Amino acid sequence: MNITSKIWNSPSDYLQSRTPDHPVHFFAPSALQAQAKRFLGGFNGLVTYAVKANPEQAVLSNLLAAGVTAFDVASPNEIRLLRELAPHAVLHYNNPVRSKSEIEFAHKADVKSYSIDGFREFEKIEGIIPPKGVEISVRIKLPVSGAVYDFGAKFGATPEKAIELLRRVKSAGYIPSITFHPGTQCEDPQAWEAYITEAAAVARAADVTIKRLNVGGGFPAKTANGTPDLEHFFNVIDEAVTKAFPIRPALVCEPGRAMVAQSFTHATRVKSINDNGDVYLNDGIYGGLSEFPVLDVQRSYTVFPPIGGQRSDTKTMAQVFGPTCDSLDVLPNKLALPTDIADDDYVIFQNMGAYVKGVTTDFNGYGQLETVTVLSL
């Protein structure tokens, strides 16, 4: 039994008591379960969780406890993880690029839903998995704005190609469906409407009645600019599907970021402040802050000294570096930090549950990320 394991009241409670010198990822299971219930209660279809956003066992267990029964997995290791934790969970393998041995692995693990965006990938699946009871979703792409980066640049078939793929899927005997992903942190619900309209046009042109429409992840998480109205997104999606399809397909969504982001904060610590006022943190772009250079999202953050209390309300814009000796290890934007910030202070970033845990590296001897459970953030 691990007798040191403990649930703390809050991040400040832990930081003051333990004064950790490594980054800490604070997890509030209650916040995660509340968000899962928001998706389950508000989305008119099957809610699956995109495991890559945060594969921690505590996250998966709490989602299962909240009633999430289906997961989007993208690799044999993610399949293995879920099969160990929840052998009967429904798994969708929606990474459209897979090696033959990955397809064989998924087939043996009883995965019955796959996405594709090309003929060669379709033929690989066809050579390994018999069609009966197996769904193949054709992933479509559109030039969509609204997301902080464009997933269509890597995956997805153009509408013309998707029409051909959908016909092939159907005539081979698989269950035909359509999927898309509008891009992560997509703050514009019209992006979904455009995709849904296009999906209906593809199905109509192919003369295929699709069983399901998977509207992807991409839902926005809370940022410093505000909390997204997810229910509005759900309504826009629902109405667009009713309007676009003569026969309504069942809906699936696969949120990653929006499901998990706000149930974690991420505490970093000031290692040093140089003579120019530049701040060196104990974490940076090779660790928990790896998204900062690639996603232009405003993050909220707070600063407090290890003895507790507050630093000054007067702020100065400071350049912030990560701990490694690599010159790329710098945050792209300056942070507004208290003028009296000092060595050993903590800088806590909010809404950091997504794409931190899986992507932290041990480059240059850093990356000792600890996860601590708290009652509230």
Residues of this chain that bind ligand PLP (CB under 6 A):
50, 52-53, 72, 94, 181, 184, 216-219, 254-258, 354
A 10 A CB-CB count for 202 gives 24
| Amino acid letter for position 30 | S
| Contact indicator for 279, 319 with CB cutoff of 8 Å | yes
What is the phi-psi region of residue 185: left when phi exceeds 0, alpha when psi lies from -120 to 50, beta otherwise?
A: left
Which residue number, 238 or 254, has a Cβ lying nearer to ligand PLP?
254
Q: CB of 255: closest distance to ligand PLP in angstroms? A: 5
| Nearest residue to ligand PLP, by Cβ distance, number only | 217
Given the complex with ligand PLP, which of 97 and 128 has the nearer CB atom? 97
Shortest Cβ 307–ligand PLP spacing (Å):
37
Instruction: Estimate the crossing angle of helix 119-128 against helix 159-171, to 10 degrees.
Output: 20
Q: How far is the CB of 30 from ligand PLP (least distance, A)?
A: 21
In the complex, the smallest distance separating the C-beta of residue 22 from ligand PLP, rounded to whole angstroms, is 26
Q: Are 84 and 61 in contact (CB under 8 A)?
A: no
Among residues 296 and 340, whose Cβ is nearest to ligand PLP? 296
Residue with Cβ nearer ligand PLP (324 or 350)? 350
Using the minimum distance from each CB to ligand PLP, give the nearer residue, 179 or 324. Answer: 179
Nearest-approach distance from CB 74 to ligand PLP, in angstroms: 6
Output the smallest distance, CB 352 to ligand PLP, in A: 13
The strand pairing partners of 304, in sequence order, are 346
CA 322 to CA 329: how far, in whole Å?
5
- For the chain, list the strands marked E by DSSP: 24-27, 46-50, 70-73, 90-93, 113-116, 135-139, 175-179, 212-214, 250-253, 264-273, 279-281, 301-304, 315-318, 320-321, 335-338, 346-349, 370-373
Separation between Cα atoms, residue 181 and residue 179, nearest integer Å: 7
Q: Would you say 184 or 263 has its CB closer to ligand PLP?
A: 184
Reduced to 3 states, what is the DSSP secondary structure of residue 106? helix
